[in-house]
């Protein structure tokens, strides 16, 4: 008597068998996990293919166009992943999906990780790692709760805010929304009260009353928008409004915050997003930074200027922290009261797509910066975290002076109006990048003068525009903006389908798990 033997094959395995394609790259930090047996789970971020096949290409700085492209691509990608995920509910539990970088966050068992790595539309699988803020360097001390004298502190004098206020006291950041992703913000601080337009808690996925899980975020917020030029004079743009988020936990939380900044009310028809975003955090540990590169590119393409600290890993060369090497980012180094680069400030060059890039872009005050801390007080902190919000504040002033500028133009204004210095911090006759200061030191007064000149140029007059020697040819050069951006090593980040280099030696081969 012949007997027939039947094998029951899981639906997920059948689906995968029907899909012939290379397996995904898997984060080596998951190597020990995948060898385990049982139902224990790890949280991962699965990055889907970075293409736009069949979709209309987005227009740079047209938010509706960029939003439509990103969301349509994410929906199309998910349709290819959904059948496999749905057929393995005990091994794969999806938590979040992000259109900003075309990714999915899931809790997976070792078997679930194997299944997910075989889906053709998934390119890379990252462990849900930690996001860290750029921890403050030692300072000279703690400052009092109020600053009744209200004189200009050294950092605002260094970038020319005192002289700018003599000429344009109306430029305080009015009408400009500045994004801030950090530990949070103490919205009840007297110097910040009423300045937080929106606050998003990435951990709970809620818009709520602002809070600070530490003190870092409140300090950076104060440098951007704190005070009033009278009782407390600490902020570069004290009338700017903050769109802030507490998100310095995991990759998943950071991606939530980054996507929130693109469309806070989840209605692409309303213009509630910030013009720029200040970021003093880094994401080490992963084999590469593609999941964050994509999100940064989406910001810039949608019309948001990304401003980042360079890192506190100096003074050795090639110490720029990740993902600040992205060419669309303004990476800011830190200087002290003497105008010299701080010892802790990360040095360049950095590396992007296997090629050297000129980071930092510029430098700003970052030593003994007095700003707000939770509870109503003021305190001095040091770090490139303190330098970054100075640049963000100046960008806010530029956007107020000319709201029609796009991120590339604001970047160009800031870069071409810097105080020129050599690698030792001494005055330089021409603008040449160096690994410590970038292309020079931040100059708010010159930047606003240049923007005013641009406005006058558009009106057909050069009245009231008196360029200094440092940027006497600037207005004429703006006519050839694309060539200038190329010379400054800027790339067109509107290419939302950029193909990223992947070094297989840094990854696990998903087909061998």
For residues 91 and 187, membership in a common domain is answered with no
265 noted as active-site residue = no
Q: Choose among 126, 121, 109: nearest CA to 83.
A: 121
- Is residue 505, in this structure, part of any structural domain at all? no
All residues at 6 or more sequence positions from 302 whose CB lies less than 8 Å from its CB, including other chains: 61, 63, 66, 67, 262, 273
For residues 179 and 118, membership in a common domain is answered with no
Q: Which residue in 77, 313, 385, 436 is the catalytic one?
A: 385
User: The domain containing residue 212 runs over which residues?
Assistant: 133-413+420-443
385 noted as active-site residue = yes
For residues 54 and 102, membership in a common domain is answered with yes
Domain end position, chosen among 128, 153, 188: 128
What's phi and psi for 261, nearest 5 deg? -60, -30
Helix or strand or coil: residue 182?
strand
Give the number of domains in the chain.
2
CATH number of the domain that residue 160 is part of: 3.40.50.200
Domain end position, chosen among 128, 145, 167: 128
- Is residue 103, in this structure, part of any structural domain at all? yes
- Is residue 439, in this structure, part of any structural domain at all? yes
For residues 198 and 304, membership in a common domain is answered with yes
For residues 219 and 336, membership in a common domain is answered with yes
State residue 148's pLDDT score: 42
Q: Which residue in 216, 219, 326, 390 is the catalytic one?
A: 216
For residues 260 and 116, membership in a common domain is answered with no
State residue 139's pLDDT score: 63
Q: Choose among 44, 56, 52, 41: nearest CA to 99.
A: 52
For residues 168 and 214, membership in a common domain is answered with yes
- Is residue 98, in this structure, part of any structural domain at all? yes
Task: pLDDT tens for the chain, 513 residues: list them.
Answer: 444 333 343 444 444 444 445 799 999 999 999 999 878 999 999 999 998 888 888 889 999 999 999 999 999 999 999 999 999 999 999 999 999 999 999 999 999 999 999 999 999 999 999 998 866 665 655 444 444 445 899 999 999 999 999 999 999 999 999 999 999 999 999 999 999 999 999 999 999 999 999 999 999 999 999 999 988 999 999 999 999 999 999 999 999 999 999 999 999 999 999 999 999 999 988 999 999 999 999 999 999 999 999 999 999 999 999 999 999 999 999 999 999 999 999 999 999 999 999 999 999 999 999 999 999 999 999 999 999 999 999 999 999 999 999 999 999 999 999 999 999 999 999 999 999 999 999 999 999 999 987 655 443 332 333 444 444 454 444 444 444 444 444 444 457 999 999 999 999 999 999
For residues 104 and 155, membership in a common domain is answered with no
DSSP 229: S
State residue 53's pLDDT score: 83
For residues 103 and 166, membership in a common domain is answered with no
For residues 106 and 164, membership in a common domain is answered with no
For residues 120 and 154, membership in a common domain is answered with no
- Is residue 491, in this structure, part of any structural domain at all? no
Q: What is the pTM of this model?
A: 0.89
Domain end position, chosen among 73, 103, 128: 128
CATH number of the domain that residue 102 is part of: 3.30.70
Helix or strand or coil: residue 305?
strand
What's phi and psi for 448, nearest 5 deg? -70, -40
Q: Which residue in 91, 155, 182, 288 is the catalytic one?
A: 182
* Whole-angstrom distance, CA of residue 133 vs CA of residue 148: 31
- Is residue 345, in this structure, part of any structural domain at all? yes
Asked if 138 and 382 count as a contact pair (C-beta separation under 8 A), the reply is yes
State residue 199's pLDDT score: 98
Q: Choose among 363, 147, 337: nearest CA to 234.
A: 147
- Is residue 122, in this structure, part of any structural domain at all? yes
For residues 321 and 378, membership in a common domain is answered with yes
Decide: residue 320, CB within 10 A, 0-12 exposed, 13-18 middle, 19+ buried: buried
- Is residue 324, in this structure, part of any structural domain at all? yes
All residues at 6 or more sequence positions from 35 whose CB lies less than 8 Å from its CB, including other chains: 110
288 noted as active-site residue = no
């Amino acid at each position: 008597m012949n007997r027939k033997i039947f094998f029951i094959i899981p639906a997920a395995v059948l689906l995968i068998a029907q899909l012939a394609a290379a397996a995904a790259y898997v984060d080596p930090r998951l190597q020990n996990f995948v060898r385990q047996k049982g139902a224990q789970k790890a949280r991962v971020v699965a990055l889907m293919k970075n293409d736009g096949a069949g979709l209309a290409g987005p227009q740079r700085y047209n938010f509706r166009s960029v939003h439509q492209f990103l969301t349509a691509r994410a929906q199309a990608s998910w349709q290819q992943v959904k059948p496999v995920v749905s057929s393995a509910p005990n091994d794969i539990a999806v938590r979040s999906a992000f259109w900003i970088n075309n990714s999915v966050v899931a809790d997976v068992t070792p078997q679930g990780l194997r299944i997910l790595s075989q889906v053709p539309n998934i390119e890379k699988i990252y462990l849900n790692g930690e996001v860290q803020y750029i921890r403050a360097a030692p300072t000279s001390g703690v400052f009092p709760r109020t600053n009744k004298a209200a004189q200009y502190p050294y950092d605002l004098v260094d970038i020319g805010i005192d002289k700018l206020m003599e000429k344009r006291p109306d430029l305080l950041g009015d009408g400009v929304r500045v994004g801030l992703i950090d530990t949070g913000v103490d919205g009840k601080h007297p110097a910040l009260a009423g300045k937080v337009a929106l606050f998003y808690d990435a951990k709970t996925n809620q818009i709520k009353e602002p809070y600070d899980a530490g003190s870092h975020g409140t300090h950076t917020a104060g440098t951007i928008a704190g005070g009033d030029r009278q009782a407390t004079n600490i902020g570069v743009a004290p009338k700017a409004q903050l769109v802030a988020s507490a998100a310095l936990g995991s990759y998943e939380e950071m991606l939530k915050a980054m996507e929130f900044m693109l469309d806070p009310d989840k209605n692409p028809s309303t213009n509630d997003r910030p013009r720029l975003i200040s970021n003093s955090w880094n994401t080490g540990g992963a084999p590469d930074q593609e999941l964050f590169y994509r999100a940064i590119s989406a910001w810039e393409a949608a019309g948001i200027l990304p401003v980042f600290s360079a890192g506190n890993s100096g003074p050795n060369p090639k110490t720029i922290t990740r993902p600040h090497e992205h060419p669309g980012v303004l990476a800011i180094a830190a200087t002290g009261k003497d105008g010299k680069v701080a010892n802790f400030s990360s040095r360049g060059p950095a590396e992007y797509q296997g090629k050297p890039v000129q980071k930092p872009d510029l430098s700003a005050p970052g030593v003994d910066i007095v700003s707000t801390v939770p509870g109503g007080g003021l305190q001095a902190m040091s770090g490139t975290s303190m330098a970054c919000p100075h640049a963000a504040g100046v960008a806010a002033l530029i956007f107020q002076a000319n709201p029609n500028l796009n991120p590339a133009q604001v970047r160009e204004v800031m870069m071409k109006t810097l105080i020129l210095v050599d690698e030792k911090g001494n005055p330089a006759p021409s603008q040449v990048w160096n690994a410590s200061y970038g292309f020079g030191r931040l100059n708010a007064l010159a930047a606003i003068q240049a923007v005013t000149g641009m406005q006058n140029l558009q009106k057909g007059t050069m009245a009231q525009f008196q360029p200094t020697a440092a940027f006497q040819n600037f207005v004429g050069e703006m006519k050839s903006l694309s060539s200038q951006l190329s010379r400054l090593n800027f790339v067109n980040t509107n290419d939302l389908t950029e193909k990223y280099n992947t070094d297989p030696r840094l990854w696990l081969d998903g087909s061998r798990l």
